[in-house]
Structure 1
Amino acid sequence: MSAGKTGHAAPFAFPGYRPLDHETVRRIVELLLVLGTLFLLDIITTQIILRMGGIELNPFMAGIVTHPALHLVIKAAILLIIFPVSLIAEQRVKGSGAFFYCVLILLYIAVILNNLLFIVPRIAM
């Protein structure tokens, strides 16, 4: 019996919930990496906008984005919260963890596109 085969329980199991198979955990980790990459792109594009004289439109983040290291720490903390939440959601309702990530990924794609719509025309001038 191989622990690496699809269908075998992965070590990510919270008490009271069904264990997840390795394939599901792998997919959730991959989605976490995609979201983390989008978070990093958001931080970078936001910093570019601020240096170009733009402003942060999210009032909750306005004071945070002026400090890039703090911005990075906040986004990393959010990822550290999202990961166990998505695993628990997936254990409770199959597919919900992936759905959760897909919603967040689409949201951050929109954020990055919005940032690029600010940056690109100013660079092209």
Structure 2
Amino acid sequence: MVPGLHYPVPVCQALEEDAARRILELVLILASLFLLDIVTTEIILLMGGIELNPFMVAVVAHPVIHLALKGAILAVIVIVALVAEMRVQGSGVFFYCLLITMYIFVVVNNVFVILPQVLA
């Protein structure tokens, strides 16, 4: 506790709106990466490739189930990030940044699998 500071500390409304906008933008980026992962995975499978993640083999065989699962995962991520953000300011943004970074690598990997087949 900081001497002289009264708790709970009032939060500026503009900061809350800014944080909400930033989190919405990060959700849209992550959702776009999820969609790109689904599309690129489907392209790889149509080209004769296989899913290397043993937990996802049955899921990626059905694009609708794949989309539904990613949607459910995104919903859980949003809830966890919002709860984290309410408890520790900035933690939700950090959480999204980690996931976005991970999914950028996933999508880039998928593109590198697709490109040699397309360019050949």
Q: How many residues align?
A: 110
Cα distance in 2 for partners of 1:67, 1:52 equals 16
Specify every segment of 5 or more residues in structure 2 that has no aligned partner in the other structure, as ranges: 1-10
When the two structures are superposed, what TM-score results if normalisation uses the length of structure 1?
A: 0.84
- Return the match for 2:64 from 69, 79, 96: 69
Task: Give the fraction of aligned pairs with identical amino acids, expressed as a percent.
Answer: 56
| AA at the equivalent of 2:42 | Q
| AA at the equivalent of 1:72 | L
RCO comparison, higher one (Cα < 8 Å, 6+): 2
- Return the match for 1:88 from 52, 67, 83: 83
**Matched-pair contact (CA < 8 Å) for 1:7–1:22:** no
**Matched-pair contact (CA < 8 Å) for 1:86–1:97:** yes
- Return the match for 1:8 from 10, 13, 24: 13
Cα distance in 2 for partners of 1:56, 1:7 equals 47
| AA at the equivalent of 2:104 | I
When the two structures are superposed, what TM-score results if normalisation uses the length of structure 2?
A: 0.87
**Matched-pair contact (CA < 8 Å) for 1:90–1:96:** yes
Within the alignment, does 1:97 sit opposite 2:92 as a pair? yes
- Return the match for 2:23 from 28, 39, 44: 28
Structure 1 or 2, whichever has the larger Rg, is 2
Question: 2:42 maps to what in 1?
Answer: 47
Question: 1:110 maps to what in 2?
Answer: 105
Cα distance in 2 for partners of 1:60, 1:33 equals 25
**Residue 7 of structure 1, CA deviation:** 2.6
**Residue 8 of structure 1, CA deviation:** 1.3
Question: 2:6 maps to what in 1?
Answer: none
Specify every segment of 5 or more residues in structure 1 that has no aligned partner in the other structure, as ranges: 1-5, 10-19
